[in-house]
A and B are shown apart, each in its own frame.
Chain A
C-alpha cells in the first residue's frame, strides 16, 4: 500500500528502495492505512444493512394492491398505503411549488444582482443557518402560525413546513449552479443588448438548467422523506384527500405510526412503505448524481 510496504527490493530504479525494509515509520504508516480502510468499510456497512433489511422485509409482504388501498385498522388484514402515497406526492408538489420559484429567484439575486453587497452576504448567511435548522422546528413554526390560527391540521400546513426546509437547499444549490455559468455567456447576452432579466431567464438560468434541476430534485427527495415537520402539521388520515385544508396522510408519518404497533400486518406495511419511499429517494439521488457527474 505505502511505498515501504510495496518495496520488495527487486526494482532498483526507485530511490526509496534504498531504505531499510522494515522501520517503525513504515509499520506505523501501514497500520494507519489499514485503520482508515477499516473505518471506510465500517462506514458503508449501515447503508447495505438498511437496504438489505428494507428490501428483505419490505418485499416479503409487498402486494401491488398496497399502492391503491387504504391503511388497515388495528389488527385487520390487507390494506395498503395508497392515500399516504398520494398525500406525500401532493404535499411535496405543493411545497416545491412554493419554494422553487422563491429559491431560484433568490439565488438569481445573489449571483446576478446583489453579488457581493452586504445584503447578499446577510441573505447567504441566513440561508446557511436556515439549512441547519432542525426540521422539527419548521413544524413547530408552522404549527404556531398556521395550525394554531386555522385550528386545523392540514395538507397546506404540511406543505408550508416542507417548503421552509426546501427553500435554503434550493437557494444554495441554484446559487452554486449559477456561479458555474461562464462569464462569457453573460458578456455575450449583455453585448446583444439583453436586459438583466432577459439575460437571466433566457441565457444564464437555461445554461445552468441541469444543475438547478439536480438541486431541486435532491431537495424534493429530502422533503419526501421528512417526517418531523409533518406529524403535527399535516398529521395523518385514514382516508383519501378531499381538499387542501384537511389532515392528510403521508408515507413517512405512516411508517412512523406503524413502526411501534404490535400488529403484524401494520408493521409489515411500514416496511413495504419504507421500500417504496427509499426506492423513490435513492433513485432520485442516484439519478441526480449521475446527471451532475456526467458533465
Chain B
C-alpha cells in the first residue's frame, strides 16, 4: 500500500483518497506486483542462462570466436564470423530494401491522396503481412522467390560475373532470396511505426506550411519528415532487430553454408538459422558454441532494441521545442 501513494500521478490523488475506505483482499497488490516482476525476472533469467551456458565455449575459444572463420563439427573447432557476417548482411540488405518501401507506404497512408476508407484497407493489408507465419514465408519463398532470383541471378552471373556481388553462379537458396523475403517480413514494422510517428506531427505545423503556399512534398520533406524523424529512425532500428532475430524463413532460404562470400547469389548462413538447424542434435563443445552464438545474437538484438526503445520514447524535435 505504501508504495502506491507517492508514485501516482497528481491527477490520481483523488482516486487514492477514495481507495482508503476498506481493506483489500490480502496479497492482491503483492500478487499483481510479482506478476509484473515476472517480465524483469524472465529477461534476467534468459540473459543469465544463455551467458552461463556459453561460458565453456568462451573458455575454449575466447574472443577469437568472433573472428574465426571455421565452423567444423568434425574437428570441434568453431568460429562465428561467417554467421555474424551472414546475419548482418542479410538484415542490412533487407533493411535497405524495406526502408524506402515501408516509408513510402507510411507516407502514402498518412496523406490524403486516397479516401480514408481505402487507406484503412491498404493499412490493414500491410498489417496482415506481419501476421503471416514465418515458416509460410519460407515455403512461399522456396516456391516463388527462389526460381525468380535463380533466373535473374543466372543472367547477372552471365553478364556481370566480374563484379564481386554476382561472382558465383546461383544455386537456388542464397543471400539474395533470403534478404528479399526478410525485407517483406520487416516492411510492416517500418510502415506501421513510421506511420504513427508521422501522424503525431502537430497539425498546426503542416497547416502553417500549406498556408505559406508549399506543395505537399515541400511540406513532407521540410516539415513532416524532419519532425517525425526520431520515431522513423526508431522504427528502422527496431526492424533491424527483428531482421537479425528472424529464423525460419532464413533457415529455409539462405542455403545454410558457413562460408563468407561477397556474392549475393551464393548460399550463406545466419546465427538464428544455424541454431534452428543444429540445436536439436548438438552436444558437448558444439552445444556450448551454439550457446555462445545465442549469446552474440542476444547481445546484438538487445543492444539494438535498447537503442530503438530509446529512440521511440525520446521526445521528437517538435516536442522538445514545445516544452
Residues of A within 8 A of B (CB): 1-4, 25-26, 28-29, 32-33, 35-40, 42-44, 46-47, 49-50, 53-54, 57, 101-103, 105-106, 108-110, 112-120, 122-123, 125-130, 132-141, 143-145, 153, 164, 167-168, 171, 183, 186-187, 190-191, 193, 195-197, 221-222, 224-228, 231-232, 235, 252, 255-256, 259-260, 270-271, 274, 277-278, 281-282, 285-286, 289
Contact partners of A137 in chain B: CB under 8 A: 46, 50, 245, 294, 297-298, 301
**Can you give 27 A-B contacts (C-beta < 8 A)?**
A3-B216, A29-B215, A36-B104, A39-B105, A53-B144, A57-B143, A106-B36, A114-B4, A114-B7, A115-B9, A119-B37, A126-B43, A129-B306, A136-B276, A137-B46, A140-B291, A141-B45, A164-B42, A187-B15, A193-B21, A196-B29, A225-B134, A227-B135, A228-B272, A232-B280, A252-B133, A285-B131
Task: Kindly identify, within residues 230 to 281 of chain B, every residue whose CB is under 8 Å from any CB belonging to chain A.
Answer: 238, 241-242, 244-248, 251-252, 272, 275-276, 279-280
Q: How far is the CB of B276 from chain A (nearest CB, A)?
A: 6
Contact partners of B101 in chain A: CB under 8 A: 39, 42-43
Residues of B within 8 A of A (CB): 3-4, 6-9, 12, 14-15, 18-19, 21-25, 28-29, 31-33, 35-40, 42-43, 45-46, 49-50, 53, 100-105, 107-109, 111, 113, 122, 124-129, 131-140, 142-144, 184, 187, 191, 215-218, 220, 238, 241-242, 244-248, 251-252, 272, 275-276, 279-280, 291, 294, 297-298, 301-302, 305-306, 308-309
Q: How far is the CB of B196 from chain A (nearest CB, A)?
A: 13
Q: Chain B residue with minimal CB distance to A134?
A: B245
| Residue of A109, A112, A140, A289 with highest tally of chain B CB at under 10 A | A140
Quick one: which of B9, B31, B136, B191 contacts A50, CB cutoff 8 A?
B136
Assess A50 versus B132: contact at CB under 8 Å? Given A2-B215, A40-B109. yes
Contact: B35 with A106, CB < 8 Å?
yes
| Residue of A2, A39, A167, A271 with highest tally of chain B CB at under 10 A | A39
Assess A119 versus B216: contact at CB under 8 Å? Given A1-B113, A40-B108. no
Contact partners of B107 in chain A: CB under 8 A: 36
Contact: B29 with A39, CB < 8 Å?
no
Assess A105 versus B4: contact at CB under 8 Å? Given A37-B113, A197-B24, A270-B139. no
Quick one: which of A110, A133, A135, A270 contacts B46, CB cutoff 8 A?
A133
Quick one: which of B12, B22, B122, B191 contacts A115, CB cutoff 8 A?
B12
Chain A-chain B contacts (Cβ-Cβ < 8 Å), number: 302
Q: Chain B residue with minimal CB distance to A270?
A: B139
Assess A231 versus B276: contact at CB under 8 Å? Given A106-B38, A187-B18, A193-B21. yes
Contact: B217 with A32, CB < 8 Å?
yes
Q: Please, how many angstroms separate the alpha-carbon atoms of A95 and B68 in the complex?
A: 39
Contact: A143 with B279, CB < 8 Å?
yes
Contact partners of B291 in chain A: CB under 8 A: 140, 144
Q: Please, how many angstroms separate the alpha-carbon atoms of A187 and B15 in the complex?
A: 6
Contact: B302 with A129, CB < 8 Å?
yes
Q: How far is the CB of B11 from chain A (nearest CB, A)?
A: 8
Contact partners of A286 in chain B: CB under 8 A: 128
Contact partners of A33 in chain B: CB under 8 A: 113, 216-217
Contact: B276 with A54, CB < 8 Å?
no
Contact partners of B32 in chain A: CB under 8 A: 105-106, 108-109, 112-113
Contact: A228 with B217, CB < 8 Å?
no
Contact: A53 with B140, CB < 8 Å?
yes
The 8 closest A-B pairs by CB, nearest first: A134-B245, A225-B133, A39-B104, A117-B7, A190-B18, A105-B35, A109-B32, A228-B247
Q: How far is the CB of B102 from chain A (nearest CB, A)?
A: 7
Q: How far is the CB of B140 from chain A (nearest CB, A)?
A: 5
Contact: B102 with A132, CB < 8 Å?
no
Q: Chain B residue with minimal CB distance to A258?
A: B139
Quick one: which of B25, B187, B247, B280 contacts A135, CB cutoff 8 A?
B247
| Residue of B29, B39, B101, B216 with highest tally of chain A CB at under 10 A | B39
Q: Please, how many angstroms separate the alpha-carbon atoms of A287 and B246 in the complex?
A: 26
Contact: B301 with A133, CB < 8 Å?
yes
Contact partners of A281 in chain B: CB under 8 A: 131-133
Contact: A116 with B8, CB < 8 Å?
yes
Q: Please, how many angstroms separate the alpha-carbon atoms of A119 and B4 in the complex?
A: 11
Quick one: which of A32, A136, A226 contacts B133, CB cutoff 8 A?
A226
Contact partners of B128 in chain A: CB under 8 A: 47, 282, 285-286
Q: How far is the CB of A71 from chain B (nearest CB, A)?
A: 16
Contact: A132 with B305, CB < 8 Å?
yes
| Residue of B36, B251, B305, B306 with highest tally of chain A CB at under 10 A | B36
